[in-house]
Amino acid sequence: MGLNKKSVDDINVKGQKVLVRCDFNVPLKEGKITDENRLVAALPTIKKLVADGGKIILCSHLGKPKGEPKPELSLAPVAVRLSELLGQEVKFVASPVVVDDTVKAAVDAMNDGEIVLLENTRYRAEETKNGEAFSKDLASLADVFVNDAFGTAHRAHCSNVGVTEFIDTCVVGYLMQKEIDFLGKAVETPVRPFVAILGGAKVADKLNVISNLLEKCDTLIIGGGMAYTFLKAKGLEVGASLVDDTKLDYCKEMIAKAETLGKKLLLPVDTAIAKSFPNPIDAEIPAEYVDCDAIPADVLGLDIGPKTAEIYAEAAKTAKTVVWNGPMGVFENPVLAKGTIAVAKALAETDATTIIGGGDSAAAVNQLGFGDKMSHISTGGGASLEFLEGKELPGVAAANDK
């Protein structure tokens, strides 16, 4: 995977029109932005391009309008909040087709250092199909393209891949650069010992990740719901725990693969059990723990136990690089969050490079208050998973190489 990409630091955009693909896919409630992390994360790239005297044209998708204008998914509120965060006007150019003559006129009238924001790119049906007409429309606005949307990097859409065929200078922004530096280098050239921690509910979601990381890491730690399929594959009774019976052979193969490669594969030795899944998810339940070779037939495992938490924390503390994707249990429940908290705490206390691979693990680390103690928290769930699988991401590949 070519990870040496040109970035905004390698170009001079003075007087040029710069199209920037950002990730402004923020949660909205009654027209108000409820979490603006993604807006804040985009500011360094935007400020750099403004300071260099470019004419900045921002674009992003929001939600799933499925190719038609949906007023509740307009980026208008983003322009308002971005203006406040940047301390300068971000002019929203509304068009149901994203690019039309009014938009072109607005862009032509821009002065250096000014910013406009286009409407939701997914208002156009071609966006998700990478259709040429929309890619050309977007490219017609700009001299330079900057991709700073890692969350969409695993998709080949008009606004992150198609457009690069019609603009010569295509580089990555600071946010993309950081993802490539941390995630890419962790997988390609990690400082060892390299420990990977995988959790989450389903083995099926992580098949390629498990296999790829076994080849790259020194120790692979398995927790979360998918651990019970591994335990069953080892011949243990897992009661009513979540199990994917179609993946038992795969788990056996992975256990054998770890042995062949001389890698440590750590599985839980004890588990939190309950008669049923908590309903609602954060409902008070009694904490009971049993060893994994003594799980009663009528209960289900919902978190790693304290012995396992200690083993996993110790393993994380010996590492120089740690990648973590997926919680250790039902972290939304205070009783069943203990395993995830123990791992997060261990990562917060280590000097290792700690990389959190988006999605639920990022949410867990932030909710538990350990976010600022991690070296890097990925902004992309699906994209970071595909990166860890060793796949080439179209959005990264489309940028110019150094």
CA distance 29 to 33: 6
| 38 belongs to an annotated ligand binding site | yes
| 358 belongs to an annotated ligand binding site | yes
| 247 belongs to an annotated ligand binding site | no
What does the block give as tokens for 53?
């005297």
| 301 belongs to an annotated ligand binding site | yes
One of 47, 48, 185, 202 is an active-site residue; which one? 202
| 122 belongs to an annotated ligand binding site | yes
Catalytic residue check, 54: no
| 81 belongs to an annotated ligand binding site | no
Which backbone phi and psi does 160 adopt, to 5 degrees? -130, -20
CB 286 within 8 A of CB 316: no
CB 354 within 8 A of CB 234: no
CA 62 to mean position of chain CA atoms = 16
What does the block give as tokens for 246?
């179609």
One of 38, 178, 216, 338 is an active-site residue; which one? 38
Type of residue numbered 129: K
Enumerate residues 6+ apart whose C-beta is below 8 A from 180.
Answer: 3, 5, 172, 396
Catalytic residue check, 202: yes
| 25 belongs to an annotated ligand binding site | yes
What does the block give as tokens for 254?
């992975």
Q: What is the DSSP string of 274-338?
A: ESS--SSTT-----EEEEGGG--TT-EEEEE-HHHHHHHHHHHHT-SEEEEES-SS-TTSTGGGH
| 188 belongs to an annotated ligand binding site | no
| 235 belongs to an annotated ligand binding site | no
Catalytic residue check, 382: yes
CA distances from 46 to 39, 227, 399 (A): 10, 42, 18
| 244 belongs to an annotated ligand binding site | no
DSSP state of 239: T
| 252 belongs to an annotated ligand binding site | no
Catalytic residue check, 38: yes
One of 200, 359, 380, 395 is an active-site residue; which one? 359
| 359 belongs to an annotated ligand binding site | yes
Beta bridge partners of 115: 56, 90
| 360 belongs to an annotated ligand binding site | yes
Enumerate residues 6+ apart whose C-beta is below 8 A from 191.
Answer: 320, 321, 353
| 375 belongs to an annotated ligand binding site | no
CA distance 389 to 26: 26
What does the block give as tokens for 324?
């973590």
One of 67, 113, 382, 390 is an active-site residue; which one? 382
| 114 belongs to an annotated ligand binding site | no
SS3 254: helix
Catalytic (active-site) positions = 38, 202, 359, 382
Residues comprising the binding site? 23-25, 38, 61-64, 122, 155, 206, 301, 332, 358-361
Residues comprising the binding site for substrate? 23-25, 38, 61-64, 122, 155
Residues comprising the binding site for ATP? 206, 301, 332, 358-361
